[in-house]
Copies of this chain bind each other. A is one copy, B any other.
């Protein structure tokens, strides 16, 4: 995969799909990456497998409530400061940048960071989707420390956190983010190349680009949702893919509370059958139920797209009356292990259900 000015629109659209409702509108994420590429040149994309075991890989991300992220944006100096302060704290220079999550803005933000800092970007992330909390990442599942974490804001305030558990780190980061206005830059989980090779979800930048490209190409043939499903079935992780529901939004409750966008969205089938689907979310979609029966549940991916254009619709853009198709896909196998479900399975979101793979539902 190569990052170019021209493929950023496809890439950002694919990343918005993998955001599963969270991670923010791809529009601003694309602009940020494109502007950085124009000013600093495109970063080189490297495969996780090509990393030396000892390479210092730093992550770069925004954290907060997606609607706030969309309003505040990011100035660039803030993300540089997060990386630089983490380098200072660790006494070691970053040698590559990696997304911690591929979903939404957090896929393009690391491209911006890598471009600004003149570093390569690793074609991998820590979940192959988006998740709302810091500890919800494979690195945490498999024992890599979330901290030190550096959190920065647009005033160049900086907070460096060292915590004994990723859950405590999450609490401290979230409290800091709320103080800073609920949209911050951070660098967490400083990793070595070996850890990235062993625990990252590989190839997800390429997959985001593939998804976005499939949607665009499908539009020219008139069947973008079909084309998207066809492409997903060819991927190594998202291959159990299907349209879960085709309906219009009849009810929507969405509030920003404790630092998250939480709520639910109800849809009624377009076929006049009266079937209902309810989707719950905490930044990202958590579970989709048709007339009370689960059709897909975290960590599998639940994505809402426009039923005509297949444009991914993030939670903050949901509106009453919208016509949407709800697509479910399998998550990467490393995300579905018993240890992984201990960290980001349904019960970790307060749901009273166990995980069942989408292919068995």
Do B157 and A162 touch (CB < 8 A)?
Answer: yes
> Which among B160, B168, B175 is the interface contact of A178 at CB below 8 angstroms?
B175
Instruction: Using CB atoms, name the residue of chain B closest to A162.
Output: B158
**For the complex, what is the distance from the CA of A89 to the CA of B160, rounded to whole Å?**
10
Contact bitstring A157-168, B, C-beta under 8 A = 1, else 0: 111111110001
Number of interface residues of A (CB under 8 A): 19
How distant is the Cα of A171 from the Cα of B175 in the complex, in angstroms? 10
A157 to B163, CA, bound (A): 5
> A172 interface residue, CB < 8 Å from B?
yes
Instruction: Indicate whether A156 reaches chain B with its CB closer than 8 angstroms.
Output: yes
Contact partner, A164, options B157, B161, B162, B175, Cβ 8 Å: B157
Cβ proximity bits A165-186 to B, threshold 8 Å, 1 near / 0 not: 0001001100110111000000
Number of this chain's copies in the complex: 2
Find chain B residues with CB under 8 A from A157 CB: 161-164, 168, 172
Residues on B with beta carbons closer than 8 Å to the beta carbon of A92? none
Query: Which residues of B are found within 8 Å of A180, using beta-carbon distances?
Result: 172
* Contact between B176 and A172, CB atoms less than 8 A apart: yes
Interface residue ranges of A123-176 to B (CB < 8 Å): 155-164, 168, 171-172, 175-176
Contact A164 B156 (CB under 8 A): yes
Residues of B within 8 A of A159 (CB): 159-162, 172, 176
User: Most B CB atoms within 10 A — which of A89, A155, A172, A180?
Assistant: A172
C-alpha gap A273/B270 in the complex (Å): 79
Min CB gap A32→B, angstroms: 23
Q: Across the interface, which residues of B come within 8 angstroms of A156, CB to CB?
A: 164
Closest to A160 in B: B160
Residues of chain B within 8 A (CB-CB) of A164 are 155-157
Cβ-neighbour of A176 out of B89, B158, B175 (below 8 A): B175
In the complex, the chain B residue whose C-beta lies closest to that of A171 is B179
Instruction: Tell whether A175 pairs with B179 under 8 Å between CB atoms, given A157-B162, A157-B163, A159-B161.
Output: yes
Docked Cα-Cα span, A176 to B168, in Å, equals: 11
- Interface members, chain A 188-226 (any B CB < 8 Å): none
Question: What residues of B have a CB within 8 angstroms of the CB of A161 in the complex?
Answer: 157-160
A345 CB, nearest partner CB in chain B, Å: 24
**A359 CB, min distance to chain B CBs, angstroms:** 40
Contacts of A158 in B (CB 8 A): 161-162
Per the bound structure, the CA–CA distance linking A157 and B180 in Å amounts to 20
Contacts of A171 in B (CB 8 A): 179
Q: 17 A-B Cβ contacts within 8 A? A: A89-B89, A89-B160, A155-B168, A157-B162, A157-B164, A157-B172, A158-B162, A159-B159, A159-B160, A160-B160, A160-B161, A168-B179, A172-B179, A172-B180, A175-B175, A175-B176, A175-B178
6 tightest Cβ-Cβ pairs between the two chains A and B: A175-B175, A160-B160, A158-B162, A157-B163, A171-B179, A175-B179
